[in-house]
Amino acid sequence: MKCPFCGNVDTQVVETRVAEDGDFIRRRRQCGSCEKRFTTYERPDVTFPSVVKKDGRRIDYEHAKLAASMNLALRKRPVSTEQVDGAMERIEEKLLNLGVREIPSTRIGELVMRELKKLDKVAYVRFASVYRSFEDIDEFKTLVDEVRR
């Protein structure tokens, strides 16, 4: 690891700690030349599949877009931040475990709907009504009847 102060590549790890949530490792290092200390963080480098939109465009997966769509559906609903974070983690874990380089946006939408259905029925109906682009009230009624069962 290169020293950020003097640029020397001779640095030593002085202390290593795992973060409370276990998501990364924090290392304190000391430069062998200038003897200054600095901190580095190790995180796993994961690559999500590219998202194939309905029109055929390919875009990078964005965690922020998933969070925004779920938060919009869950707006003013009695669901905790921890529950939302857990649902998002499950969705992203499924995306990674699929082991594919590309995934249709519709598949991600289905994963979101599955998680929302478990969290909050109203949020599920909100998301599904936009996601499925209902043409008439009967389609919406069918969805509501499905949720009631």
How far are the Cα atoms of 41, 58, 67, 108 from residue 61, in angstroms, in the given order?
23, 9, 12, 10
Q: What are phi and psi of 56, to 5 degrees?
A: 95, -10
Domain residues of the chain, as ranges? Answer: 11-42, 50-148
Q: What is the pTM of this model?
A: 0.66
Q: How many Å apart are CA 109 and CA 131, to the nearest integer?
A: 7
Q: Given this model, what pLDDT does residue 68 score?
A: 95
- The residue ranking higher by pLDDT, 12 or 126, is 12
Is 50 in contact with 107 (CB distance < 8 Å)? no
The model's pLDDT over 60-73, given as tens digits with 9 standing for 90+, comes to: 999 999 999 999 99
